[in-house]
Chain A
Amino acid sequence: MKQQRKVALPRYGEYNCVLKYIVEQGFEAQCILPPPLSRRTEELGARNSPDLVCTPFKTTLGSMIEALEAGADTIIMVHGACRLNYFGELQEQILRDLGYSFEFINLSLYNTGKIKDILRALKVINPRCNMVKAGRAVYDAVKMVEHLDDTTSMYYQNCGFDPTGTYPKIYRKFISDMYAARSLADIQEGYRNANHAFADVVLEKNPDPIRIGIIGDYYTVMDPFSNLEIEQKLADMGVEVHRLMNITNDMLRNSEKNKQIIIRRFSEYSMGASSTTDIWQAQNFAERGFDGLIQVKSAFCMPETDIMPVLANLSREYSIPVLYLTYDSQTSDVGLMTRLEAFFDMLEMRKKVAP
Chain B
Amino acid sequence: MEETGGNRIPAIGIPRALLYYRYGTLWEHFFRALDVPVILSPLSSRGILDIGARLAPDEGCISLKMFIGHVEALIGKCERIFIPRYSNYGYTDLFCTRYEGIYDQARNIFHTSGQRFITCNIDVMNGSPEPKAFEQLGVELGFSERESRQAWKEAAGALEQEQRANDRLQKELAGKPGMKVLLAGHSYVLSDPYLGKPIRDYLEAAGAVILRTDALDPITSRKASARFSPTCRWLVSEEVVGGVMLWKEKVDGIILVSAFPCGPDSMTNELLIRRIKGVPVLPLILDIQSGMAGIETRIESFLDIIRFQKGEMV
Q: Which residues of A contact B (CB under 8 A)?
A: 50-54, 57, 79, 81-83, 85-86, 88-90, 93-94, 97, 106, 108-109, 111-113, 266-273, 275, 299-300, 302-303, 305-310, 312-313, 326
Extra A-B contacts (6), CB below 8 Å, given A82-B263, A83-B264, A85-B231: A86-B268, A90-B270, A269-B101, A272-B87, A309-B57, A309-B108
Mask: chain B, 59-102; 1 = CB below 8 Å from A; 0 = not: 11000000000000000000000000101000100101110111
Q: Is B230 an interface residue (CB 8 A)?
A: yes
**A275 to B87 Cα, complex, angstroms:** 14
Tell me which residues across on chain A come within 8 A of B270, comparing CB atoms.
50, 53, 90
What are the residues of chain A within 8 A of B268 when measuring CB–CB? Answer: 86
Bound-state CA distance A106–B232 (Å) is: 13
Query: Is there an interface contact between B111 and A271, defined as CB atoms closer than 8 Å?
Result: no
Question: Would A270 and B100 count as touching, CB distance under 8 A?
Answer: yes
Are A82 and B97 in contact (CB-based, < 8 A)? yes
Q: What string of 1s and 0s marks CB contacts (under 8 Å) between B86-130 and chain A?
A: 010001001011101111110111010000000101010000000
Q: Are A272 and B97 in contact (CB under 8 A)?
A: yes
Interface residues of B in 224-279 (CB under 8 A from A): 229-233, 260-271, 274-275
B261 touches A52 (CB 8 A): yes
Check A271/B266 contact, CB under 8 A, given A88-B231, A93-B274, A313-B111: no
- CB-CB under 8 A from A81, the residues of chain B are 97
- Chain B, interface residues (CB within 8 Å), range: 35 or more
Please, which residues of chain A bring their CB within 8 A of the CB of B91?
111-113
B residues adjacent to A (C-beta < 8 A): 56-57, 59-60, 85, 87, 91, 94, 96-98, 100-105, 107-109, 111, 119, 121, 123, 229-233, 260-271, 274-275, 285
Whether A89 and B231, one on each chain, are in contact in the complex, defined by CB atoms closer than 8 angstroms, is yes
Closest 7 pairs (CB-CB, A-B): A272-B97, A271-B101, A52-B266, A50-B270, A306-B101, A309-B108, A52-B261
Q: A316 to chain B: closest CB distance in Å?
A: 9
In the complex the two chains form, what is the Cα distance from A97 to B100 in whole Å?
Answer: 34
In the complex, the chain A residue whose C-beta lies closest to that of B99 is A272
B85 touches A299 (CB 8 A): no
Provide the bound-state CA to CA distance between A276 and B98, in Å.
14
Taking a contact as CB atoms under 8 Å apart, the answer to whether A303 and B261 are in contact is: no
Given contact pairs A52-B261, A112-B91, A313 touches B108 in the complex (Cβ within 8 A): yes
Are A85 and B97 touching (Cβ within 8 A)? Answer: no
| Contact across chains for A53 and B57 when beta carbons are under 8 A apart | no
Question: Contact partner of A305 among B60, B111, B123, CB < 8 A?
Answer: B60
Chain A residues within an 8 Å CB radius of B56: 309
CB distance from B86 to the nearest CB of A (A): 11
